[in-house]
Amino acid sequence: MRRPSYGRTAARSDDGLPVCHSTTAEGIEAWVAEQVPAALRPAASEASASAASAVEERRRQSVPQWHQRIERAKYAAERAARQCQACEPENRLAARTLEQRWDESLREGTRLEAEFDRFPRTQPRPLGEADRDRVRQLAEQVPTLWHAATTTPADRRRIVRRRIEQVTVTVLPADTPVAVRIAWHGGAVQSRTVRRAVLAYRDLAEWPRWSAELASLHSRKRIPAEIAETLNRAGFRPPKRAETFRAGMVRRRFDELGLRPRVSRATTAGVLATDEKWLHDVGAELGLSPHTPHGRRRKGWRHARRLGGRRGAWAVWVGGREKKRLRELRDCLRVWSNRDKSKALRTPGRRK
């Protein structure tokens, strides 16, 4: 199953171009999920209660302003009434204008009084001391409920949507760090740099320094296990999902950097049988990645033997139906409906 990832897909959807920036979502989502319970701890609840108190104080300060607006509207209506009553009956045009102004003043006063009546109902209810204690108790239980087995992913998503306004991920090309920024509801901002997996060692931003350190350790006759431990202590990390270096990884890097060249097949002390081919050649004929044939050899999916000692090349038996089986194994899709067929194709034929 393909792992979820984030990427800029506009170029692919609009112009059919490859995705230029992408990163796996695993590390980013894990860090964001760790911050949510921390944001719900009692200290954060105290901050929310303080914010609620500030809202209540602003509401109390706005009440006198409402009274002043209503008083001004009443005064305007009384003044318009006096002007209308003082107007001579013979001056009908002026009387109608003053009467219309009086009606408008009365309607404005009625509207303001109705809005003031609705104002307390639209504001948050003031928190009493009992309410604050209840909020503190619930906040202490939230981190436990977040990690509980009974809490479903849908429940966690609802909590995240109520707490987080936006998560911004900034991916730079040819570099491993990913800048993650969380904007919480309420204005708080939290940032961190997360490592992302890349395809190869040479895609690492630290590759020049890392390869120089590896060559230096090799020149001092350090064994791969010691070199792996030294690289881990120095803070170097593999490009993909592995968290630490192991001896096997170091040995493979020796081969890539030319620090320990392989034994040439031309000088191998051994002769291929008539039904054998070099493992490298078989992988090239099948169009496989250079690492895939060795992985299948280690899993026992083919008969192979090493010629020329510990650093010699591998020879693969391709007699009988082996060539056909290897092609069918290459073309067999790794889906559930092909599980029985794939299992049969992974078993090499009997060598005579």
Write out the H or E segment, with its range, that includes residue 109: helix 92-122
From 107-116, 270-279, 322-331, the region with the lowest mean pLDDT = 270-279
More confident position, 343 or 55? 343
Q: What is the pLDDT of residue 2?
A: 58
Domain locations in the chain as residue ranges: 5-10+19-37+134-195, 43-127, 201-257, 271-345
What is the full DSSP assignment across 278-329?
EHHHHHHHHT--THHHHHHHHTTSS-EEEESSTTPEEEEE-TTTHHHHHHHH
d(CA 66, CA 87): 32
pLDDT digits (tens, 9 = 90+) for 226-253: 988 998 888 888 877 677 888 888 888 8
Taking residues 184-206, report their average pLDDT. Answer: 77
